[in-house]
Amino acid sequence: MANSNSAQIATLVKELSGASRRRRQEVAHQLALTAKANPQLMFDYVDELIDALFRPEAQTRWEVLDALSAVAEADADKVVGAFDGAEASLFDNGSATVRLAAFVFLCRLAASSAERSDEAWPLLDEAIQCYHGDAEYRDMLVALLAVARGNASDATKKALGARVKFDSENGSGYVKTLSAEIIDALK
C-alpha cells in the first residue's frame, strides 16, 4: 500500500508542472490534504513543491504552502529551501489567501528553531504591520501563537511581545484576546 501511495503522489507531483492551470490547482489541493494527513509522504517531493511556489495561479501556491507548512511541522529541516518562495508569496498583491498561507509557513519555520526565527521574524513583523486588521489577521495571530510557544530565539520572542503588547492592552475583540494569549505564552 505504501508503494501505491508513493506512486500516486509521484504522479500528482509531476502534474504540478503540467500545462493545465486547473489541473495544477486540483493536484495542489490533493497534495495539501495528503500532507496534512501524513506529512512524511511528502518528504521526497519537497523540491517539486518548492518549485510549484512559482506557478502563476494563486490557488496552486496557497495549497502548496499549506502542504509545506504540514511538512514543516513534522520536520522543518526538509523545507528550509522554501523560504524565498514563501517570502515572495507573503507580499502577493493579488491574493490574501496566498499571503496568509505564506505567513503560516514562515511561522512554522520560526517556531522550529532560534536561527530560523531570527531569519523569518523581519518578514513576519513587516507582514503584521502591513496586514493588521485585514480579514486574515485573526489567523495570523493564531500562527504567531505557535511562534510564541515554539523554539524561537529570545530576541524573536522579545520582538514579538513588543509588537503585540499594545493590542493586548488596548485592542478589542479577537485582536486583544489573541494578542494577550501571545503575551502569556511568551512568559
CB 131 within 8 A of CB 137: yes
Position 77 scores a pLDDT of 97
For the whole model, what pTM was predicted? 0.95
pLDDT for position 3: 59
Chain position carrying cell 489577521: 137
Are the C-beta atoms of 39 and 73 separated by less than 8 Å?
A: yes
pLDDT in the model for residue 1: 40
The CATH class for the domain spanning 2-186 reads mainly alpha
Give CA–CA dist 64/160, Å, rounded: 27
Give the mean model confidence (pLDDT) for residues 54-74. 97
Q: What is the pLDDT of residue 2?
A: 52
Q: Please check the confidence at residue 38 and state whether its pLDDT lies above 50.
A: yes
Where do the structural domains in the chain lie, given as residue ranges?
Answer: 2-186
Residue 17 pLDDT exceeds 50: yes
C-beta contacts of 94-98 below 8 A and 24+ residues apart: 94/58, 95/58, 95/61, 95/62, 96/131, 96/134, 96/135, 96/136, 97/58, 97/59, 97/62, 97/136, 98/58, 98/61, 98/62, 98/65
